[in-house]
Chains A and B, each alone.
Chain A
Amino acid sequence: MKKAGYNVLDLEPLPKALQGKVSAEVAQAQGYGLYSARYGNVYTIRQLLQLFQEALGQFTPAHPVWEKDGRFYDALRPGIELRGFASPEEVMLHRAWHLKAVAEMMQQTDIMVFTFGLTEAWVSRGAEGTVYPTAPGTIAGRFDPELFEFKNFAYPEIVADFIQVRQILRGFNPRLRFIVTVSPVPLTATASGEHVEVATVYSKSVLRAACGAISARFKAVDYFPSYEVITSQSARGAYYEPNLRSVNSRGVETAMGLFMAAHDKTGAEKLRAKRVKAQAEPVESLEEEDGLICEEALLEAFNT
C-alpha cells in the first residue's frame, strides 16, 4: 500500500536519519515498517481491544514482562526486541513510549485495516484475562498453568470485541472506516485438542463469519476477500509457498492487485503528490561537499 502511494500511518518509524538507508529485512526484524506502530503481530481482536484500552489508560495487562536467560521481554510484543531488554524497567519505558504512539495512531486514523488471524490465544487467568500474542515459554517467559490458560474465542466474543474497538476509534473520528480481512495462513499447531486441520477450519470459519456479520451490520466496515482469493479451490494452492502455510509473492500480488483495483487510487495519488512537495531535503545530501570547495582542496595540495 505504501508503494502504491497510500498514506499508511507509521507512528514508530525508523529514526529519520536511517530511513531508506538500512535493509528492509533488518528494519522489519526490529519491528519497523511492518505496521502503524511497533506492536508486532496482533492475532486476535481481543488483543487489539486490550492494546487500545491500555493506550487510553483503561487496562493494565497482567504479567507484562517475561524473562529469558537474563534478558527481559515485552510479553505483549515479545518479538519486537529480538535480544530482549536489559531490565524490566527498560521494557516498561519502551512500552510507555509505544502506548503513546498507539494513542496517537488511534487519533489520526481515517481507515483501519485489521486482519483477523486467530481465535486461539493464551491469556492470563482472572476476570479480565490479558491476551498474549505467543504462548508463555516460547519466545520468553515460563508457562505456569496457575497463571495462564488457553482460550479459544467464540463468535459472539469476537463480534462484541470488534464493536468495542469500533466505538473507541469512532470516539476519536466518527467518520472512521474499517477494512477487515481474515488471514489465509493456517494454524501450525493448536491447543484446542482437535486435529490442526479441524482447528484451522473452525478458527477461520468463526473469523469469517464474524467479519461477515460486522460488515453486514456496519456501513463503514468493508470486508476484503483476500482469504478467499488465496484459499479458494480455484487457486489450486498456487498462492502458497512449498510449506503450504506461507502466502507466496504471487498470492500477495494477486490479492493486492484486486485491492488496488477495488479502491479509489486517485485519492491516494493526490496524497502522494502532497507528500512529495512537503518532503524535506534528503538526509544523504548532508555530507555532500560543495564541488568548488573539493576542487580547491585538491588544487591547493597539488598546486596545479
Chain B
Amino acid sequence: MSKILFMGSSHLGAVKLGYEQIAAEFPGAEVDFFGAPAKVFAAMALTEDLQFGITATSQVTEVEAQRVERTFGRREVDLRAYDTVVILGHRIEEIVNAQVLNSHSVAGLSEAPDLPPLTQETYLALMDSYLTGLLPDPAWAAIIRPRVIFVAKPRMSEGCVKGTSPRTKPWAELIRRGLVKGPGLQLFLDRARAVFADKGLHLITPPPEVLGATGLTRADFSRAGAPDAGDALAGNDFDYSHMNAAYGVIMARSIMETVAG
C-alpha cells in the first residue's frame, strides 16, 4: 500500500474530482488531500520535523484557518506519514513567458520584424534565472522521504481569448500571432522541469492531451464549462484558471504514473 498526499492550492479541486473517477485503477494507493486557496496555502509552513500547515506564525485569519480545518479535518499534516507528497498548483507563471514572446522577436520562437530582437541564448538565460526565482523553498529539496512532486498550475483555458483583462490579453495576443502552438511555450515548460530537476525537484507540467487546438487548455476542461458565443459569462468574469474533473482525470493519471515510476 502506497500512501499519497495530494495537497495544494485551489487547483487541488480538479485533481481530487478526477482522481475519484479513476481511483479504482490504483488499488494499491491510499490517497489523502489537504489544501487551501492560494493565499492561505502560501502562508502555510514546513517545519523541520515535516509538519506542514498553518502554524502560529502563518499570516492567516482564524476564519481562514477554521475553513481549512472544516474542509480537511485538520490545520496541518504530518508529511512523514506518506510515501509521496504531490503539491498541486505550483505557479510557474506561463503568462510571463507569453508576455516576453509577445513583446520581443525571439529567434526561432516568436520572430517578428517589428519587435526588438532577442537571441534564443539570452532568452533562455533570462528564463532560467526567472524560473530559478520560482523554485520552492530549498527545504523541499532537502526532503528524502516522502518523495515530493510538484505539479504546475494549468495553462489558462481557451475561453480566455474572449477576455480583455491583463491576465487574459497576453494569451489572446499569442493566439492571434499563432504562437501558442509554437515551440516557445513548450520550451519554457521544458526549461521549468530542467530548472527543478537541477535542484533535485520533480515538476509535472500539463500533458499535451489537455491542450486544445489553440494550444491553451481545452475550453471544455474549464471549471465553468466552455463559454458559448453569447454566454453572459464569457469575458473577464469567466474563470479561465481552474479546471474541472475531466481535466483532473488526465492530470491525476499523469501524476499516478509518475508516482508509480
Contact = CB atoms under 8 A, between A and B. Distances in A.
Interface of A: 12, 14-18, 21-23, 26-27, 29-30, 81-83, 85-86, 90, 93-94, 97, 281, 283-284, 286-289, 291, 293-295, 297-302, 304
B126 A300 contact: no
B126 A295 contact: no
Contacts of A288: 38
Given A15-B126, A30-B125, A291-B37, A302 B99 contact: no
B17 A21 contact: no
Contact of A297 (B116, B128, B223): B223
Closest 9 CB pairs of A and B: A301-B13, A17-B99, A294-B10, A294-B37, A22-B129, A26-B129, A297-B10, A297-B242, A297-B13
Contacts of A299: 71
A22 B10 contact: no
Interface residues of B, number: 48
Given A30-B126, A286-B95, A294-B242, 6 more contacts: A15-B126, A26-B126, A27-B129, A30-B125, A286-B166, A288-B38
A301 B37 contact: no
Given A30-B126, A295-B37, A302 B16 contact: yes
28 contacts: A12-B116, A14-B126, A16-B99, A17-B100, A18-B130, A21-B133, A23-B129, A23-B133, A27-B126, A86-B119, A90-B107, A93-B117, A97-B117, A286-B95, A289-B10, A291-B37, A291-B39, A294-B38, A297-B14, A298-B35, A298-B37, A299-B71, A300-B13, A300-B17, A301-B16, A301-B17, A302-B16, A302-B72
Contacts of B128: 26
Interface string B1-24: 000000001111110110000000
Contacts of A15: 99-100, 103-104, 118, 126
Contact of B95 (A86, A93, A94, A287): A287
B10 A295 contact: yes
B121 A298 contact: no
B116 A26 contact: no
A30 B36 contact: no
A94 B116 CA distance: 8
Contact of A18 (B11, B13, B38, B126): B126
Contacts, number: 120
A188 B100 CA distance: 39
A301 B12 contact: yes
Contact of A289 (B38, B71, B99, B132): B38
Centre residue among A14, A287, A291 by max chain B CB count within 10 A: A287
Contact of B117 (A30, A94, A294): A94
Nearest to A293: B239
Contacts of A18: 96, 100, 126, 130
A30 B130 CA distance: 14
B96 A30 contact: no
A160 B14 CA distance: 71
B167 A286 contact: yes
Which of B16, B116, B126 has the largest count of A CB atoms less than 10 A from its CB?
A: B126
B93 interface: yes
B258 interface: no
A141 B223 CA distance: 57
A83 to B, nearest CB: 5
A281 to B, nearest CB: 6
B193 interface: no
A145 to B, nearest CB: 32
A23 B125 CA distance: 10
Interface string B24-44: 000000000101111100000
B151 to A, nearest CB: 15
Centre residue among A22, A283, A291 by max chain B CB count within 10 A: A22
Nearest to B20: A301
Interface string B96-110: 100110011001000
Interface string B65-109: 001001110000000000000000001010110011001100100
Given A17-B100, A90-B107, A293 B129 contact: no
Contact of A287 (B37, B39, B93, B122): B93
A27 B127 CA distance: 10
B241 interface: yes
B129 to A, nearest CB: 4
B119 A94 contact: yes
B71 A97 contact: no
B133 A22 contact: yes
Contacts of B91: 287
Contacts of A22: 126, 129-130, 133
Contacts of A301: 12-14, 16-17
Contact of A293 (B12, B96, B242): B242
